[in-house]
Amino acid sequence: MSKVASLVTENNMKEILIIGPGSLTGSRFVELGKDKFEMYGAGGGMDENLTGLVSFQSLDITNQKNVEAAVSSFPGTYVMNFAGATLVDEIEKTRPADSTDKKQLDENIAYKVNVLGTKFLADACKKYDKFPIFISTGFVFDGKDGPYSEEDQVASLPDDVSWYAWTKILAENEVKKSGVENLTIRISYPYRSEYIGKLDFARNFLKVYDEYKSGIRDSIYPMFADQFLTPTFIDDIPRSVGLLLGKGEAGVFHLSSPEIVTPYDFCLELLRVARNVDNPEELIKKGSIVEFQQSHPEIAKRPVQGGEKSDKIKMLGFTPTSWKEGIRKAFEKKG
């Protein structure tokens, strides 16, 4: 059992400082975590409809003093960070010409939020004896021979992955350098049934389909049949964090569908379940990510033969939701 985590037993209400509670993943954590955790929020804007937080304070994670003040004044033990720069294709446009040049990095928003923000948080948690929980991504792997376990090496060159992914690799390195005991949970293509703030992998495709059905668009673009991924059902995050904290675990954990799938097959199933389409194969053409990436080098790279193996968390008693079951849970029409 980890040193800090052992301070709190499984049955105690755990106080968590949630950074970025309005995010796609964080807001669901707050919704589902109400009975399990006592949550205090900090971050940028807040969704007024989000209930479940004891309090909310504004916090800029790129401001070291701000981060130190928020962490040092928090009376609880756990600090969970959902804040991040996440718009992968937008971030790609900001890739610095020289990825080692300090001036260019200091001006790069994704670097500031993802790398420096994580560093400031990890350092503050180390200094004030807190236990941080970070969210990382399966994009840290180059996607040449996935699916990957926690033991596998992340990409070693910035050009092998998207700029977003590189900032997440650097962020993971900062956590290691800080020496703080922590949990780092890597997720992939997270999806949930609804969220106003932004679309995810699944709801984006449903939007495309709905626009096609209502005549707003002429066709549905092809879906990649040669990319392999393991989507994360967002509802698994609070459940798995509860289990890991209860067991006093620390370290890196993958949290993704135990079964691998292509975007093509995922979207076929999505149409069957969420829109009652009997023969979705007649609507969606197969596309190739390999060809797409060759013809669109400006678009952020995604792992092709990607996916995460989540055996480590399975061994501890939590089996992540499979992609098929997740689609059913999130999108099956009730009644």
Closer by beta carbon to ligand NAP, 8 or else 188: 188
CB of 24 to ligand NAP, least distance (A): 3
Neighbours of 184 (CB within 10 A): 20
Instruction: Please tell me whether residue 60 binds ligand NAP under the rule CB under 6 A.
Output: yes
Binding to ligand NAP (CB under 6 A) within 161-180 occurs at 168
**Nearest in space to 315 (alpha carbons), one of 180, 181, 150, 188:** 150
- Beta-strand relationship, 37-43 and 78-81: unpaired
Among the listed ranges 9-17, 81-89, 212-220, 244-252, the one in contact with ligand NAP (CB under 6 A) is: 81-89
Given 18, 71, 79, 83, the residue binding ligand NAP (CB under 6 A): 83
CB of 234 to ligand NAP, least distance (A): 8
Neighbours of 132 (CB within 10 A): 26
Binding to ligand NAP (CB under 6 A) within 100-129 occurs at 113
252: enclosing H helix or E strand: strand 251-254
User: What is the rounded distance in angstroms from the CA atom of residue 108 to the CA atom of residue 54?
Assistant: 33
Contacts of 90 (CB under 8 A, 6+ apart): none
Closer by beta carbon to ligand NAP, 8 or else 78: 78
Closer by beta carbon to ligand NAP, 135 or else 241: 135
Instruction: Please tell me whether residue 65 binds ligand NAP under the rule CB under 6 A.
Output: no
Given 41, 84, 246, 307, the residue binding ligand NAP (CB under 6 A): 84
Binding to ligand NAP (CB under 6 A) within 18-47 occurs at 20, 22-26, 43-45
User: What is the rounded distance in angstroms from the CA atom of residue 249 to the CA atom of residue 181?
Assistant: 10
Angle (nearest 5°) at CA 319 between 316 and 321: 155
Instruction: Please tell me whether residue 143 binds ligand NAP under the rule CB under 6 A.
Output: no
- Rounded to the nearest 10 degrees, the angle between the axes of helix 64-73 and helix 117-127 is 40
User: What is the rounded distance in angstroms from the CA atom of residue 64 to the CA atom of residue 103?
Assistant: 18
Q: How many residues bind ligand NAP (CB under 6 A)?
A: 26
Given 127, 198, 207, 285, the residue binding ligand NAP (CB under 6 A): 198
Closer by beta carbon to ligand NAP, 127 or else 198: 198
Amino acid symbol at 302: R
Q: What tokens appear for 199 in the block?
A: 């679309």
CB of 140 to ligand NAP, least distance (A): 10
Contacts of 98 (CB under 8 A, 6+ apart): 104
64: enclosing H helix or E strand: helix 64-73
CB of 120 to ligand NAP, least distance (A): 10
What are the CA-CA distances from residue 146 to residues 4, 77, 136, 139, 141 (Å)?
Answer: 33, 35, 17, 11, 8
- Nearest residue (beta carbon) to ligand NAP: 44
CB of 279 to ligand NAP, least distance (A): 29
Amino acid symbol at 224: F
CB of 246 to ligand NAP, least distance (A): 22
CB of 21 to ligand NAP, least distance (A): 7
CB of 109 to ligand NAP, least distance (A): 8
Which positions lie near ligand NAP, rule CB under 6 A?
Answer: 20, 22-26, 43-45, 59-62, 82-84, 86, 113, 135, 137, 168, 187-188, 190, 197-198
